[in-house]
């Protein structure tokens, strides 16, 4: 089955290639900001809509001016992709208004805060463990590609992390094999103490990577804050802090990848709750632990992996009282506290682990379709 799949690979450009990448990132950001300003001004002055085609024609004229001749040094398709990204941001904004959602108006990209990347769509070739890209030529990578699975390369996004590492993300059409069917169903209760409790009794430990590296991070951040602004030592220390943040993030994503792979391999139907994570993190006592567990990332990975491998993901209503309902008789225990780790039913005298009880309820509700 052909599916869209992305591969993010670290690459090792030489000094000349680094300079070209940095210049192209700057050019793509400039084009986005320049034409966002043009569209805003056009609408203010004449209530005129200035769409992608008009922006593209204007960009061609802009390149011919001596003041902006440096834009010719960048890959032309990457600048067109910036215009498409801007047009997409406008479309999402207006679609959000129609649907009553607060999507937000397109914002200018800050040099310090915006993602450092640009996208190309043509002349992308893979040769063993190297990638050939327009304007850059052949770049060494850390990955040996299995070309037999890749049907087509749609585009490549070249990015630079804040710690100075370079990556290429390839969006490909890949022949993905559907995983074998096990005829098993599972309810998943996500938590903080344990990352997940499954309805069949399996418990997934929470590694708590942020807590693990927190003391080291505090020490490095304290060093950074005491250094003189603009000094080379401060910049070196900034890179150290950034790399530690990246390490925490990479460890967390890798662990969640293994966990979600385990779920889609062992079960045909997976049932989870529609958690209100943005509301949960407003509890300042639990916000750090909730963010460290990364519930949204678990859901995101399950959604696309179930689609890839022919499995079913069911998401139940967030207002269903999965923890307070008895999995034996259905009685609701309204006075259940967060500190109560054992669920004891007053009606049927069932005594069961709180999280296991919740996961069984999630599975029951998801498979019967009562609260979807």
Catalytic residues: 189, 273, 355
The torsion region of residue 137 among left (phi > 0), alpha (psi -120 to 50) and beta comes to left
Q: Could you tell me if 192 and 289 are in contact, meaning their C-beta atoms sit under 8 angstroms apart?
A: yes
Task: Indicate the angle between helix axes 15-46 and 76-99, nearest 10 degrees.
Answer: 40
Query: Cα-flanking dihedrals φ and ψ of residue 92, to 5°?
Result: -65, -35
Comparing CA positions, the residue from 261, 361, 355, 362 lying closest to residue 302 is 261
For 355, the 3-state DSSP assignment is helix
Alpha carbon separation from 196 to 83, 224, 365 (Å, rounded): 42, 36, 18
The span from the CA of 153 to the CA of 135, in Å, is 18
Q: How far apart are CA 356 and CA 199, in angstroms?
A: 6
3-class SS at 271? strand
Distance in angstroms (rounded) separating the CA atoms of residues 254 and 244: 15
Fill in the DSSP letter of residue 306.
H
Residue among 287, 290, 360, 284 at smallest CA distance from 328? 360
CB contact at 8 A, 293 and 195: yes
DSSP label at residue 144: -
Phi, psi of 147 (to 5 degrees): -70, -15
Beta strands 269-273 and 312-316, pairing class:
parallel
Q: Are 152 and 246 a contacting pair, CB within 8 Å?
A: no
Provide the Cα torsion 302, 303, 305, 310; round to 10°: 120
Looking only at the bridges linking them, the beta strands covering 351-353 and 116-120 are unpaired
Q: How far is C-alpha 168 from the geometric centre of its chain's CA atoms? A: 16
């Amino acid at each position: 089955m052909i599916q869209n799949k992305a591969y993010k690979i670290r690459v090792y450009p030489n000094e000349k290639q680094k300079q070209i990448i940095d210049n192209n990132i700057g050019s793509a950001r400039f084009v986005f900001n320049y034409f966002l300003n043009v569209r805003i001004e056009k609408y203010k002055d004449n209530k005129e809509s200035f769409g992608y085609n008009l922006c593209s024609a204007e960009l061609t004229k802009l390149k011919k001016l001596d003041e902006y001749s440096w834009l010719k040094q960048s890959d032309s398709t990457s600048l067109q992709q910036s215009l498409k990204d801007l047009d997409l941001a406008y479309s999402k904004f207006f679609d959000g208004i129609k649907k009553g959602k607060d999507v937000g108006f397109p914002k200018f990209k800050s040099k310090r805060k915006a993602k450092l990347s640009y996208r190309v769509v043509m002349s992308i070739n893979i040769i063993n463990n190297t990638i050939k890209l327009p304007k850059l030529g052949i770049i060494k990578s850390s990955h040996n590609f299995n070309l037999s699975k890749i049907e087509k390369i749609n585009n490549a996004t070249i990015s630079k992390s804040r710690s100075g590492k370079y990556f290429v993300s390839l969006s490909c059409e890949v022949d993905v094999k559907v995983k074998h069917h096990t005829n098993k169903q599972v309810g998943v209760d996500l938590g903080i103490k344990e990352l997940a409790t499954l309805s069949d009794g399996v418990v997934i430990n929470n590694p708590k990577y942020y807590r693990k590296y927190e003391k080291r991070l505090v020490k490095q951040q304290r060093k950074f804050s005491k250094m003189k602004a603009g000094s080379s030592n401060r910049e070196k220390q900034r890179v150290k802090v950034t790399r530690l943040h990246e390490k925490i993030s990479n460890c967390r994503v890798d662990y969640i990848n293994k966990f979600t792979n385990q779920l889609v391999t062992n079960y045909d139907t997976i049932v989870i709750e529609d958690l209100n994570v943005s509301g949960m993190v407003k509890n300042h006592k639990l916000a750090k632990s909730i963010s460290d567990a990364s519930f949204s990332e678990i859901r995101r990975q399950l959604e696309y992996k179930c689609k890839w491998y022919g499995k079913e993901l069911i998401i139940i209503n967030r207002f269903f009282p999965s923890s307070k309902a008895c999995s034996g008789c259905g009685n609701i225990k309204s006075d259940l506290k967060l500190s109560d780790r054992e669920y004891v039913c007053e009606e049927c005298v069932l005594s069961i682990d709180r999280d296991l009880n919740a996961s069984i309820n999630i599975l029951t509700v998801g498979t019967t379709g009562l609260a979807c």
